Every structure is written in structure tokens, then in C-alpha cells.
Amino acid sequence: MPPRRPLWLRAPRAPGSPGVVPAVFPATYKGKIEKSRSEATRISTLYNKQQRLQRNTRSALSQLDRVIQKLNQDIQAFHSSSRALLRDYQDEYQDHVSEIVTAVQRTQQSAETLLACQAKVVHLEQALQDVSARHQLERQRRKVLHNSLVELKGNIRVHCRIRPLLPFDSESDDPVLQSSSISREVAHAVDDETVLVKCDRPGHPLINKTYHFERVYGPAESQRVVFGDVCPLLTSLLDGYNVCVMAYGQTGSGKSYTMLGPHSDDGPVLPLDPQSDLGIIPRTAEELFRLISENPSRSPKVEVSIVEVYNNDIFDLLAKDTVAAVSGVKREVMTAKDGRTEVALLASEAVGSASKLMELVRGGLQLRAKHPTLVHADSSRSHLIITVTLTTAACSDSTADQACSATLPREQTEAGRAGRSRRTSQGASAPQPVPGDPAGRAEQVQARLQLVDLAGSECIGVSGVTGSALRETACINRSLAALADVLGALSEHRSHVPYRNSRLTHLLQDCLGGDAKLLVILCISPSQRHLAQTLQGLGFGIRARQVQRGPARKRPPSSQTEGKRRPD
């Protein structure tokens, strides 16, 4: 109910109304009354506004109270969840602390165990080093003793070299060989004395064979390493022994690379770079003259001759013959009165340095017969034989022992002395003064070094040769077969050895028969494409190892060996 207005604000009653006394107000009072009415209206308006404001305030306060209550509820819920989370965190914290403590304890135990293992490892490493050192020493001693045994038996030393795979090894018409699932490499160097040939082709029997040699060189072995095993033979050459180094293998197996180095139209050059790929022949020339320079008192004379056996004929590649401008002069094998074989009218030139020797070798190589085949673009069609004859003043055993002691390990020196004493007891010839020289100053000994680069055996179906090259291949294979027959006869100690079945074996009769220290370097291909030739070459090497020729003998003085020669 709206409030009642004050009496003084009420409207006056009309005249004649009961209870109303008409009055007459002065004008001043009328103005005040109007002013009061205006003020009353304004106050009433303000009052109404205040009433509305109070209502709004009460409504806002009510909403705020509800919000505060909701907030209090949320705070209480947050406090509850916080307390629960804190309890969970404390539980997790305790669990993790326990795990960390356990892990630390385990780590400490592991650290102690690791220290014990490290100490044990150090001890084992030291023991392994000691065992390895003893093993290496025993291997060296075994090798020295083995070499001494080989020398006493006169066995042919056979080293096997496996060349790397080359691009043309993958060229084949056989779809089986082109299959990527089959390994193209079948020959492997197991260690430095063993070759493993393993091949498993569909439709063929499994091949898994091992071959043992005095030394095996893998595809990664350098020319320097190969020559390192040839060096001791040069010392034997200076001591008066004949020496022969022969490279055997199929076409493209790396024989010429091993003996001469990479193919070059200019031939091998000197001086040598220690990291170069030059082969045995240029390295031998350099090392030989180095050894000579270390003992100039013996005043050796070095002569060189070069021949090739081509189509079973012998050609002198140093002969000064204007008719044979592009090839050597044909020669014949002669048999001396004492049974030694030589080439009649063979040209030889004296050399005083390694560079001069290699100059002659380069000249001879330019005349050597060559012909491209499907296997090798620069295939040698002849057997090359470079002979270095060393004529030197003879020395006593004591002098030789001193010279050997300066260049060889103690074990090898002692083995060499023992070998010399045994050879002397067996009746080996000792140097004698030349007749007619009262002072005995002309005592001389000739020793011969033969470096042989054999032509490669070929399968005609693989090499694809025709015409004259086919005849060359037939002659090469026959001469190599004759060489294998000679080794077979020697290994079986037959009464007759067929040296004269081929000019090659007849020319090499002295070194094959035991008058020289012979090293055969057997070169093979690791490719499955050449498996048959690889097995044939390995068989040749095994047959060569079985030859026992007796101890090599020093060449007697030239004054005792001169005699009339007769043609074969």
C-alpha cells in the first residue's frame, strides 16, 4: 500500500464541502506552498529512486551471497582434493625414495663388480699379450725351422697370391653366375698359410677345400709385402746360391702384375716409391744393388740376359740383330759337359746399377709376344725368363757367416750355418783358387738369379682365341703341362724326369732339379667364373710343394766348371 501523503501536501477541498473552512491565504504563502510542492515532488522522486536502489542492492546482495556460498563450497572441495593429492604425492614420494635407495645400492654393488671385472680384464689382457707374444715368437721359430727343413729337403717354396675381384670377373653368359644371390668370390685367404675354396652352385656338387702353402697373400696384401718374402733369397744369391722366382697361374690372375707391376708402355721406373705398386723384378733390381753396395769388397760383376719361350722356341730378347727388329733372335738350349743347361750364343750385358738393369728389362718387354684375349686385354703369349748372373769373389764360410749375421735374424743365421755345415759334410763343392794364380786371388763364384713370368694357362672356350693365337694357347698349355709332369716326376722320385718334353722345362732344368732355391708364386683368381682354372692352379701348387730335391748347392768356382758345351 503506498504511503499516505502528509496533510500539508493534500489538495484543498472544494468550497461548500463539509468540514472545510474557506480561508484566504496571502500571496506570499502561495509561493511558499508551490515551492514546497516542488520540493515535495523532488523528494518523492528521490525517495522512489532510493527505494529502487535498495531493491536492486538487496537483489545484488542476494546473488553475491549465493556466489560466495558456491565459492566456499568450491574452496572446501579444493581443500579436500588438495589434501588427497598431497597424501598421494607423499605416498609416491616415499615409494620413489625407496626405489632410488635400492637403485643406489645396486649401482654401488655393480660398480664394485665392474671394478673387479676391469681388474680381471686388465689381467686377462696382459696374459693375452704375453700369450700372443709367445705365439708370435713360436710362429717365427716354427717358420725358421720350417724354412730350414724345406731347405734341407730341397722342397720348392710355394706362395699363393689371391688377386682382388675385377670388373671383367662379372662378365659371364651363365645365368647362374649372374644371379646376385650367389657369391662371385669363391677363393678366400683364411690366414697367411691357408686358402679356402668354397662354392655352392645349383646343379653342381659342393666344393669346400682348403690348401696350405708356405705363405698366402690376400687381395689386400701390397706388392711390398710380397717382395718382403723374396728378399732373403737375394742374400742367398750373394752367398753363391742359384735362385729362381717363378710366377704361375691362369691368364689374368696377376702374374705379370706381381713380377713387374701395373702395365705401362714405358715399363717399371726407378727409384722406387715405398708405396708404389712396382713388382718383384724392379724391387729385386733395387735391393740387389743395395746389398752389393753394402759389401763392395767382393767386387761382383752383374750380367743380365733375357729370353722368352714362344711357341716352344727360345728367343733372345737382348741379341743385337738388325733382322729381328720386332722380335728376339731364335736360340737353342745347350747342355754343358757337367750337365748344366744353357742357351747357346745367348747375349748378356753387364750392368752397374738398378736403372741400367731395368732399362734392359724394358727393352726386352717391348719385344715380348702379346695378344689380347677375352680374359686379358694385354695377355702375354710367351714365358719370360730374366737371368741375372752374379760373378763375385769367393769368400770363406766365416766371412759368409758375418755377412749373413748383418742382414738376417739370429735364428736364420744359425739355421744357415747349420745348413752349410751339413752341405759341406755331404760333399758340396767349396771354392778353390783358379789354376795359374799363385796368390789365389782369382777365386770366383757364379750365382744365377732367374726371374720367370710364365704365360698363363688358358681355357680356349673362355679366352675366345682363334688362328695364330689358338696355336699360341696350345703351346702355352703344353709347356705348362710339361712343367707339371716334371714336378710330378720329381715328387714321386721317378728314375726318369721328362725335362726335354718342353723347351721351357729343359731351360729351367737346373733350378727345377735342385740346383737352385726355387720360389713359386701361385697367382689365382677369386672369381667363381674361373673356378676350374683356380682349382687346377692350386693343385699345381700342392704338387710343387711335394717335391724334395735335397739341399740346394752353391755354384762351384767358374774355373772348375768351364767345359765344352754340346747342343741339345
Residue 334 gets the label, from left (phi > 0), alpha (psi -120 to 50) or beta, of beta
Cβ(344)–Cβ(334) under 8 Å?
yes
Whether residue 412 is annotated as binding a ligand: the answer is no
Whether residue 558 is annotated as binding a ligand: the answer is no
Tell me whether strands 215-217 and 157-162 are parallel, antiparallel or unpaired: parallel
What is the identity of the amino acid at 283?
A: R
Whether residue 396 is annotated as binding a ligand: the answer is no
Half-sphere exposure of 64 (CA within 13 A, CB side): 6
Strand partners, 329: 316
Whether residue 301 is annotated as binding a ligand: the answer is no
Grid cell for residue 239: 752367398
Q: What letter does residue 154 receive in the DSSP assignment? A: T
What separation in angstroms does the CA of 500 have from each of 155, 479, 503, 516?
Answer: 22, 10, 6, 19
Residues ≥6 apart with Cβ < 8 Å to 156 = 487, 518, 519, 520, 544, 545, 547, 549
In 3D space, the residue among 369, 481, 371, 419 whose CA is nearest the CA of residue 147 turns out to be 419
Grid cell for residue 51: 527505494
DSSP 493-549: T-S---GGGSHHHHHTHHHHTTSSEEEEEEEE--BGGGHHHHHHHHHHHHHHHT---
Whether residue 256 is annotated as binding a ligand: the answer is yes
Cβ(242)–Cβ(552) under 8 Å?
yes
In 3D space, the residue among 165, 173, 158 whose CA is nearest the CA of residue 248 turns out to be 158
Longest Cα–Cα distance in the chain: 202
* Rounded CA separation 161/215 (Å): 8
Whether residue 254 is annotated as binding a ligand: the answer is yes
Binding positions for ATP are 249-256
Binding positions are 249-256
